[in-house]
Structure 1
Amino acid sequence: MSENNYPKLHNAAWPGVVGKGPDSEPTIGLDTMLEMTAVAEVDGTGFDGIDLFLYDPHIDIDSSEDDIKALAGKIAGHGLEAGSLVAPVWPDIGGGSAMGSKEDRKNFVTQVKKSCEIGNVLREEGVRPNGVIRIDSAVDPATWAENPEEGTRLIVQTWREACDVAADYGEDLAAEGEICWGGMHSWKTMEQTLEAVDRPNIGFQADMAHTLLYLLGYNAPDDRILPQDFEWGDRETLTEGLEEMTAALRPWTIDFHVAQNDGTVFGSGTHDKTGRHCLPDDPDGRLDIAEDAGHWLRDENGELTKAFNHICWDGCMFPNEVMLQQETWNGILAAMIEVRNRHGWSE
Structure 2
Amino acid sequence: MKDNAFPKIHNASWPGIVGKGPDSEPPISLDKMLEMTAKAEVNGIKFDGIDIGLFDPHVDIHSSDDDIKRLADKVAGHGLNIGTLVAPIWGGPTLGSDDDRKTFVAMVQRACHFGKIFREHGVRQYGVIRIDSASSPEEWAKDPVNNTKLIAKTFREACDVAADYDEKLAAEGEICWGGMHSWKAMVETLEAVDRPNIGFQADMSHTLLYLLGYNAPEDRILPQDFDWSDRKTLEAGLKTVTDALRPWTIDFHVAQNDGTVHGTGSHDKTGRHCLATDPNGKLDVANDAGYWLRDGNGELTKAFKHICWDGCMFDNDVMMKQQTWNDILATLIKVRELHGWS
Normalization by structure 2: what TM-score? Answer: 0.99
Which residue of 1 is the match for residue 219 of structure 2? 223
2:167 corresponding residue in structure 1: 171
Q: State whether residues 36 and 326 of structure 1, in contact with CA within 8 Å, keep that contact through their aligned partners in structure 2.
A: yes
CA contact (8 A) 2:8 2:48 kept: yes
Q: Supply the distance in 2 between the matched residues of 1:25 and 1:42 (Cα, whole angstroms).
A: 29
Task: Summarize the alignment of residues 189-338 of structure 1 with structure 2, pairs less than 5 Å apart.
Answer: 189-338=185-334
Report SS of the residue matched to 2:82: strand
Checking the alignment, whether the CA contact within 8 Å between 2:95 and 2:139 is kept in structure 1 is no
1:9 corresponds in structure 2 to 9
Deviations 1:63-95 (A, max 9, x none): 00000100111111100000000000002xxxx
Counterpart of 1:343, as a letter, is H
Report if the CA contact (8 A) 2:204-2:289 is conserved: yes
Runs of 4+ in 1 over 6 A off after TM superposition: none
In the alignment of these two chains, the number of paired residues is: 342
Amino acid at match of 1:12: A
Mapped partners of 1:18, 1:51: distance in 2? 14
Counterparts of 2:136 and 2:125 in 1: how far apart (Å)? Answer: 33
Change (3 A) 1:38 1:97: same
Q: Could you tell me how far apart the structure 2 residues matched to 1:229 and 1:280 are?
A: 25
* Offset at residue 15 of structure 1 (A): 0.3
Q: Secondary structure of the equivalent of 1:216?
A: coil
Counterparts of 1:229 and 1:43 in 2: how far apart (Å)? 41
Residue type of the partner of 2:333? Answer: I
Select between 306-315 and 228-237 the one with higher mean Cα deviation: 228-237
Structure 1 position 98, deviation (Å) = 0.8
Corresponding residue for residue 51 of structure 1: 51
- For the pair 1:113 / 2:129, whether they are aligned, the reply is no
Q: How far apart are 1:227 and its partner, in Å?
A: 1.5
How far apart are 1:100 and its partner, in Å? 1.6
- Structure 1 residue runs without a partner (length 5+): none
Distance 2:279 2:34 in 1: 28
Give the deviation of 1:197 after TM superposition.
Answer: 0.4
Which structure 2 segments of 5+ residues have no match?
Answer: none
Using the TM superposition, give the Cα deviation of residue 56 of structure 1 relative to its aligned residue in structure 2, in angstroms. 1.2
Match of 1:150 among 135, 138, 146: 146
Q: Counterpart of 1:139? A: 135
2:18 is matched with which residue? 18
Counterpart check, 1:33 vs 2:33 = yes
2:177 counterpart letter in structure 1: W
CA distance in 1, matches of 2:229, 2:282: 9
**Distance in 2, Cα, partners of 1:73 & 1:270:** 30
Preserved contact between residue 16 and residue 33 of structure 1 (Cα < 8 Å): yes
Specify the alignment match of 1:89 in structure 2.
89
Instruction: Give the letter for the 1:88 counterpart.
Output: P
- CA shift, 1:228, in A, is 1.8
Shift of 1:229: 3.8
Q: Is contact 1:99–1:158 with CA below 8 Å preserved after alignment?
A: no
> Partner of 2:97 in structure 1?
101
The one-letter code sitting in structure 1 at the alignment partner of 2:308 is C
Read off the aligned partner of 1:224 and give its amino acid letter: R
Distance 2:224 2:33 in 1: 40
* Cα distance between partner residues in 1 of 2:9 and 2:309: 8
Task: Give, in whole Å, the separation in 2 of the partners of 1:5 and 1:185.
Answer: 34
3-state SS of paired residue (1:334): helix
- Give the 3-state SS of the residue equivalent to 2:289 in structure 1: helix
Cα distance in 1 between the residues matched to 2:266 and 2:340 = 36
Secondary structure at 1:312's aligned position in 2?
strand
1:233-282, Cα deviation, whole Å (9 max, x unpaired): 10000000000110000000000000000000000111001110001110
